[in-house]
Amino acid sequence: MLTIEKIGGTSMSKFGDVLTNIIIGNRNDFDLYNRIFVVSAYSGVTNWLLEHKKNNKQGVYKLFVEHAGFNRALQEVLTKLIEINNGFKDLKLDLEAANNFITNRIVQARNYLNSLADVLATGYINQNNILLAAREILASIGEAHSAFNSANILENHGINATFVDLCGFNDSEFLTIDERIHKSFKNIDYSKTIPIVTGYTKGTEGIMREFDRGYSEVTFSKIAVDLKADEAIIHKEFHLSSADPNIVGIKKSIPVGLTNYNVADQLADLGMEAIHPKASKPLEIAGINIRIKNTFEPDHPGTVISKTYIGEKSKVEIISGTDKVVAIEVHDPSMVGEVGFDLNIMETFKKYGVSYILKSTNANSITQVIWEKDLNKEMIKELQDNFQEITIKEVALVCVLGTNIAQPGILAKASTALANKKINIECFSQSLKQVNMQFVIQRDQYKKAIVVMNDVLCATK
């Protein structure tokens, strides 16, 4: 049985636990193999190289864009990466080899970036292409660092390991992402070695152009499909659970045993990714199940996401949501009976690259919920110029999800639970598939709503 396994950045930073719980565990020498591990950069490293994922604090890439001392920043990143190496000395990491590897990789990257900066300064080349190339180069460093270290540590523990570097730093081959992956695994006997693979893959189409920070899961997915894996496993620092344990408490956060790709897509739409949706689609089409496991609870079977699973009994599986959204309502009496009226609104959203999470309509109003970070003053001004009344409100979104919630009473039970806590439903949406009920509420009532929904619909089951 061949498994392709992805290890996230937070888990990678605790590689001692990864080594003990995932790679070695209770396995004998035979069971160690027929597994391929795709690794992310250590926690925080990609933020240093690009920009902080949450607060957008500048990293090396931002400084490169602004022509503001990126060489010094890159050197500072190297110092931090060597400090990370020192933290793995007790795990038998060969510090000399590891430090030489990452130093050489940083030097190569600096040379590439300086050349790109020189070309950019001429003004003859499309700036966007140069910036995208710089972003690709920088992004790849973190995964090369963690993958090299991991393979080195395994070898020093007497485990056959192969460092599979998909970053393409040392070649000028014009390969697509799929071609590079296929070529890299062509001569590897994974029944006798554990391939440790960079989450970044160099390709002519540019993996970050299409997937940005979700690229490591795309690499993971493409390898699983190419090698026809029996199962794709993602190791995270938490279970896929009925609700966020940080909100409802660990005892009331129930691990989800089985779910399907449709529910996983709903979670991804909320930013609560079990897996990047563009990575999950090829796996779904190929009929490969995904298993989400908790790195720190290796004996727990985790959550299996399959194409066909539907719960035998109708029940709510997950309560999720976000308090980082805003509702934009367009009210205009002229929309009544007007065919295609909402197309004009959507063309404005598309113009500014804004996608909605929820859409709800009545005769003369259309409400759309978007991420707060996507709120654009110019877009709002254009909407105000073209439609009678625009209302913007900071809100939260609470969702009730499950593979089989299409039964009378669940909506009533959910809305009653909110009403009993004096939480008003500002807006609501549900499609005919009935896998996701979306409730828009006041932002300051978000955590209370998650707790009460989990208590009433999940934790009492």
pLDDT tens-digit readout, 325-362:
999 999 999 999 888 899 999 999 999 999 999 999 99
| Residue 307, SS3 per DSSP | coil
Q: Are residues 222 and 361 in the same domain?
A: no
Q: Using a pLDDT cut of 90, give the percent of the chain over it.
A: 80
CA gap 322, 398 in Å, rounded? 7
Q: What is the pLDDT, as a whole number, of residue 237?
A: 86
Q: Which of 237, 263, 279 is the last residue of a domain?
A: 237
Q: Domain check: are 128 and 231 in the same one?
A: yes
* Residues whose CB is less than 8 angstroms from the CB of residue 323 and which lie 6 or more positions away in sequence, other chains included: 396, 397, 443, 446, 447
Quick check: is 288 in a domain?
Answer: no
Continuous H helices in 123-200: 127-156, 177-185
> Do 229 and 325 reside in the same domain of the chain?
no
Q: Tell me the one-letter amino acid at 274.
A: A
Of the candidates 7, 75, 78, 88, the one whose C-alpha atom is nearest the C-alpha of residue 41 is 7
Residue 363 neighbours by CB distance under 10 Å:
8
Average pLDDT over residues 66-74: 91
pLDDT at site 291: 96
For the chain, the average pLDDT equals 93
| pLDDT value of residue 210 | 80
423 has a pLDDT exceeding 50: yes
Whether the per-residue pLDDT at 274 is higher than 80: the answer is no
Query: Are 323 and 448 part of one and the same domain?
Result: yes
Rounded-to-integer distance, Cα 450 and Cα 191, Å: 45
- Please check the confidence at residue 273 and state whether its pLDDT lies above 70: no
Euclidean distance between CA atoms 244 and 249, whole angstroms: 8
Q: Is the pLDDT of residue 456 over 60?
A: yes
For residue 266, being part of any structural domain is answered with: no
Are residues 192 and 325 part of one domain? no
| Predicted pLDDT at 29 | 67
The answer on pLDDT for 275 being more than 80 is no
Number of domains comprising the chain: 2
Q: Which are the contacts of 67, defined by CB distance < 8 A and separation ≥ 6? A: 117
Confidence of residue 86 (pLDDT cuts 50, 70, 90): very high
Residue 263: how many other CB atoms lie within 10 Å = 24
Over residues 436-451, mean pLDDT: 96
- Percent of the chain scoring above 70 in pLDDT: 98
- Averaged over 430-457, what is the pLDDT? 95
pLDDT at 67 (0 to 100): 84
The answer to whether 195 touches 188, Cβ cutoff 8 Å, is yes
Q: Tell me the CB-side half-sphere exposure of residue 373, using CA atoms within 13 A.
A: 8
| pLDDT at residue 461, rounded to an integer | 46
Token pair in block for residue 75: 């050197």
User: Which residues form the domain of 7?
Assistant: 3-237
Q: Which of 181, 203, 237 is the last residue of a domain?
A: 237
Does 139 reside within a domain? yes
In a domain, 294, yes or no: no
CA angle 423, 383, 441 (to 5 degrees): 5
Q: What average pLDDT does this structure show over 41-51? A: 95
CA–CA separation, 14 and 40 (whole Å): 12
DSSP, collapsed to helix, strand or coil, labels residue 297 as coil
For residues 40-64, average pLDDT: 89
Pick the last residue of a domain from 237, 262, 294: 237
For residues 8 and 141, membership in a common domain is answered with: yes
| pLDDT given for residue 459 in this prediction | 61
Q: Please state, in angstroms and rounded to a whole number, the distance separating the CA atoms of residues 394 and 91.
A: 48
Q: Is the pLDDT of residue 118 over 60?
A: yes
Q: What is the mean pLDDT of residues 265-275?
A: 80
| DSSP structure string for 411-461 | HHHHHHHHHHTT----EEE--TT-SEEEEEEEGGGHHHHHHHHHIIIIIT-
Do 221 and 326 lie in a common domain? no
Tokens, residue 206: 């540019």
Q: Do 61 and 178 reside in the same domain of the chain?
A: yes
Both 336 and 205 in a single domain? Answer: no
Q: Residue 83: what pLDDT?
A: 98
Task: List b or e across 315-337, with b for residues whose CB sees 16 or more CB atoms inside 10 angstroms.
Answer: ebbbbbbbbbbbbbbbebeebee
For position 225, which CATH number holds? 3.40.1160.10
pLDDT surpassing 90 at residue 134 = yes
Does residue 349 lie within any of the structural domains? yes
304-328 tens-digit pLDDT? 999 999 998 888 999 999 999 999 9
Does residue 190 share a domain with residue 57? yes
The secondary structure of the chain in percent helix, strand, coil, rounded to multiples of 5, reads 45, 20, 35
Same-domain check for residues 332 and 208: no
- pLDDT at residue 120 in the model: 86
CATH number reported for the structural domain that contains residue 450 in this entry: 3.30.2130.10
* pLDDT confidence bin for 460, thresholds 50/70/90: low
pTM: 0.89
Q: What is the DSSP string of 6-32?
A: EE-HHHHTTHHHIIIIIIITT--TTTT
pLDDT in tens, 53-69: 777 788 999 999 988 88
* Residue 169 included in any domain: yes
Q: What is the pLDDT of residues 174-215, one digit of tens each?
A: 999 999 999 999 999 999 999 999 999 999 999 988 888 889
Cβ–Cβ under 8 Å, residues 437 and 400: yes
Q: What's the rounded Cα separation, in Å, for the pair 321 and 451? A: 12
Instruction: State the average pLDDT over residues 93-110.
Output: 97
- Residue 11 pLDDT more than 70? yes
Q: What is the per-residue pLDDT for 177? A: 96
Is 367 inside a domain boundary? yes
Q: Is the same domain home to 448 and 322?
A: yes
Within a domain: residue 259?
Answer: no
For the range 77-82, what are the long-range contacts, defined as Cβ-Cβ under 8 Å and sequence gap of 24 or more? 77/45, 77/48, 77/49, 77/106, 77/141, 78/102, 78/103, 78/106, 80/45, 80/48, 81/45, 81/106, 81/145
